[in-house]
Amino acid sequence: MDNNKNKKIFISGGGGEKDSYPLDKEFIQGIEGDRKSILYIPIAMNADPIKYEACYDWIINSLAALSGEFLDIAMWTNLNDKTEEDLNKFDAVYIGGGNTFKLLQHIYESNFFSILRKFINKGGIIYGGSAGAIIMGKNINTVSEENDRNYIYNEGLSMVGDYSIICHYQENLDEKIVKYIATYNNPVIALSERSGIRIVGDSVKVVGYDPIIVFNLNKEKSVIECGVEFSL
């Protein structure tokens, strides 16, 4: 479990830019560097060069509209051989959606895992959307159906205390979440596409249009409304 007081993490439920507007706005406002440089990592996506170009266009259009200032957004489609020095050039990292297992496998196998942890511990800001959000939790088997290629990694970055994360939440996922808790013994934060959380140190604030749902180890659900803060 990570107890770092410097961490600033934004976790989105995986909707479009209109759904995540309040969270995205707080994310952009939270970037303090002169350059406002953001690294976008879309590698969870199964993409060809044209798709990656479209992803890059999308992130720029989504985030640039939220800032009066110029945002310098870079994109990495391969994490192999990236160093701490490379990452420290950025004020924030945005990890996008796609296949959660594919994303986590590449993060581990490229040794980016430890670099990202150091970046977070130094106060670097992270935004995770959908797959990028789920890897912030303790275990990614909340979306075990995405493991379509016998991926071997399932331990997430544990940036949300003992919680695992599930995105695109709807009530019909309750049974699956309860089964997950019974198997892995982790509480779960469930985010609809219009909800999100902002974590600063060990304080969590619900940011979005919808409340979040927290499933405890007794598999009981509690609804936490937008604007409410709680501790990890």
Partner 1 sequence: MQNKFEIMPNNFEEKDFSLAYHAELERFMKTNKLEFYSSDKREIENGDSTPLMEKYTFQANPENPESMELETPEFLNSFFESKGYGVTKPKSIINKGGTTLFVSAGVQVLDDMVFNEKKISEKKLFVAQPVFRTQYMDQVGEGFSTTFINIASEIANPSVANHFDAINDWVCLLEKLGLKKEKITLKTREKEPQWGDKKFKDFILMIYYDGLEIGDANYIYDIPQKTRDSLKISDIGFGLERIKWILKGGSYFNEKEAEDPRVFDYCKTMALLTGSGLRPSNKEHGYRLRQLSKRLMDSDKKFDELIPALRYYYNYWKKWTYLTMPESGAIEVANTENKRNSKQVD
Per CB under 8 A, residues contacting partner 1 are: 43, 45-54, 56-57, 60-61, 64-65, 67, 69-70, 72-78, 80, 102, 106, 109
**Which one, 5 or 35, has the nearer CB to partner 1?**
35
Q: How far apart are CA 193 and CA 169, in angstroms?
A: 7
Q: Tell me how far, at minimum, the Cβ of 137 lies from partner 1, in Å.
A: 23
Please state the three-class secondary structure of 28-59 as a single string.
Answer: HHCCCCCCCEEEEECCCCCCCHHHHHHHHHHH
Q: Tell me how far, at minimum, the Cβ of 145 lies from partner 1, in Å.
A: 17
**Which one, 105 or 164, has the nearer CB to partner 1?**
105
**Which one, 150 or 218, has the nearer CB to partner 1?**
150
DSSP 81: T
**Which one, 1 or 54, has the nearer CB to partner 1?**
54
Q: Tell me how far, at minimum, the Cβ of 13 lies from partner 1, in Å.
A: 22
**Which one, 124 or 208, has the nearer CB to partner 1?**
124
Q: Tell me how far, at minimum, the Cβ of 97 lies from partner 1, in Å.
A: 13
Q: Tell me how far, at minimum, the Cβ of 87 lies from partner 1, in Å.
A: 12
**Residue 173: partners with Cβ closer than 8 Å, 6 or more residues away:** 166, 190
Q: Tell me how far, at minimum, the Cβ of 123 lies from partner 1, in Å.
A: 23
**Which one, 109 or 171, has the nearer CB to partner 1?**
109
Nearest-CA neighbor of 168 among 204, 132, 216? 132
Q: Tell me how far, at minimum, the Cβ of 139 lies from partner 1, in Å.
A: 23
Quickly count helices (H) and strands (E) in the chain: 7, 12
Q: Are 92 and 38 in contact (CB under 8 A)?
A: yes
Q: Are 101 and 151 in contact (CB under 8 A)?
A: yes
Q: Which tokens in the block code for residue 187?
A: 């509480």
27, HSE (Cβ side, Cα atoms, 13 Å) = 32
**Which one, 42 or 196, has the nearer CB to partner 1?**
42
- Phi, psi for residue 164 in degrees, rounded to 5: -100, 165
Residue 152 has a CB neighbour count (10 Å cut-off) of 11
